[in-house]
Amino acid sequence: MSSIWVFQEGRGVLPRAVFRSREAGDRWVVENDLRGVLTEYPLGTGVYDWLLESGRLNIKRDEQKMPGYIARFSSAHQDHYHYDDPED
């Protein structure tokens, strides 16, 4: 699977940066002393479809097939790294 790494800070909805590798994203986050989450996303497909195709998403209710649900969908199955304040 081809993927990218997206950094989002805690309060924002929009991505703040996109990287070709986790290492590049990690380096940028650390160098800038940022707080947020670096998450891996598959290229060429949505997270919802990616998990359906892999068998890791089990649809149990009709509302889980609705556009609003799919648009807001995220998953703990995605590799992700939290960058928090060490004093938190």
28 occurs within a structural domain:
yes
Note the pLDDT of residue 10.
77
Identify whether the C-beta of residue 75 lies closer than 8 Å to the C-beta of residue 35: no
Residues 13-30 have a mean pLDDT of 95
The burial class, CB within 10 Å (0-12 / 13-18 / 19+), for 38 is buried
- Whether the per-residue pLDDT at 7 is higher than 70: the answer is yes
19 occurs within a structural domain:
yes
pLDDT 10s digits, 41-76? 999 999 999 999 999 999 999 999 999 999 999 888
pLDDT 10s digits, 31-48? 999 999 999 999 999 999
- Whether the per-residue pLDDT at 88 is higher than 50: the answer is no
Query: What residue numbers bound the domain in which 19 lies?
Result: 3-83
The number of domains in the chain is 1
23 occurs within a structural domain:
yes
SS3 45: coil
